[in-house]
Amino acid sequence: MQKTRFITVITALLLFIGEVPAELVSAKSLSAADAELSVKASPQAEYATRRSIPLARLLDGAVSRPDSPVPSTDTYLTVKKQGGKKTVYRVDPDGDLHQEDGVELQLRPAERARLLKAARELRAKHYGELLPWDEAKTVIPRKAKVKVIDLETGLSFNAQRRAGSSHADVQPLTKADTEIMKQIYNGSWSWRRRAILVESNGRVLAASMHGMPHGGDGIPNNGFRGHFCIHFLGSVTHGKGNVDLAHQLMVAKASGTLDAFERQLDPYDVINAFFLANEYGDSQLLAELFPDARHAQAGIRHFGAEDGTVRHQFVEAEEEVDQLVAADIRVDTCVIRGNRCADKTRSVFQMRRLSPAEPWRIDWIEKP
């Protein structure tokens, strides 16, 4: 059932290549300001793609609306005013601007179209190509050398695909490459999945990696005992052949299709994604799962994730939810401490959506 669900999501991704106004805003006072459009995978990401855009007329005549939901986004407009003061706006998919205090600026249609065009061009440069594994493995055949770029830090290292039929088994090329990879993981090897770009044969592919040496070796003197795995769209684990949700989320993030991926998830996998984001401390992914980036439960970690690994289990069997707009799902959690499961709790995830065509979001987590 889970594998079928992922196949449906992956198929949808392949098809995706794609009130009273408060006041009018004048651009006259901003005529001497500069504007920079940027794309980055998360608000904290050091790796970003930027370009300057003309500010003249962009905000002229914009309609300001207070108390609007703040969207999760990867696109930002920074306006630098005289005196060095900066205002950072989140750019939503419709081309409107949002401040962190909930003020929304609705641009005029022509300016909205101009901003969206610039954002599309920037996102195309920033993200990788979303390529299914069956095609990706021909771009990076066995023994191919690749460049791996971490989408958060911007750090990069060279590697070689050594093996792997269901996904790529890869090793850093040199000891220096191993050191950079370990730096990406803050000095400790980890199974955590990370969104990456893989450069090979003139192409840049969206992918996901973990950072744990395991299994067979092959490159001498590189300081890496074993290999690590790189996953692409639709790739599966060795052995059981499962599609790994965490890897596919990171592939979507690396291709700029995270929102499209999450819109296809049922409420159970939205909860599974929540626990992954909670474990990783991924604020961007957490914000995506709530209806508003300012949601009281979106900006914090839960269930003691700062102190240990949180395990979760659904209390009841998964039910059919295709036609529902509300589902209260009970979840048991505990924190792994040594060899035992401590701090056991039972919570209710109140899952909501506006219609069966809309994505599921976490409306509230009712805790003991």
Alpha carbon distance 88, 44 (integer Å): 14
Please name the residue that has the structure tokens 């601007």.
Answer: 97
pTM of the model: 0.89
- Contacts of residue 308, defined as CB under 8 A and 6 or more positions apart, other chains included, come to 335, 336, 337, 342
pLDDT, one tens digit for every residue, the chain (368 residues): 555 555 555 555 554 444 333 444 444 444 445 799 999 999 899 999 999 988 878 888 999 999 999 999 999 999 987 777 889 999 999 999 999 999 999 999 999 999 999 999 999 999 999 999 999 999 999 999 999 999 999 999 999 999 999 999 999 999 999 999 999 999 999 999 999 999 999 999 999 999 999 987 779 999 999 999 999 999 998 878 899 999 999 999 999 999 999 999 999 999 999 999 999 989 889 999 999 999 999 988 999 888 889 999 999 999 999 999 999 999 999 999 888 999 999 999 999 999 999 999 999 999 98
Q: What are the extents of the domains in the chain?
A: 2-11+130-254, 21-126, 265-366
pLDDT, position 2: 53
326-337 sheet: strands from edge to edge: 309-314, 326-337, 340-352, 361-366
Q: Are 75 and 37 in contact (CB under 8 A)?
A: yes
The architecture CATH gives domain 265-366:
Roll (3.10)
Q: Are 114 and 79 in contact (CB under 8 A)?
A: no
| CATH, domain 2-11+130-254, list 1.10.1790, 2.50.20, 2.60.40, 2.30.110 | 2.30.110
Q: CA–CA distance from 91 to each of 2, 67, 201, 309 (Å)?
A: 34, 16, 33, 34
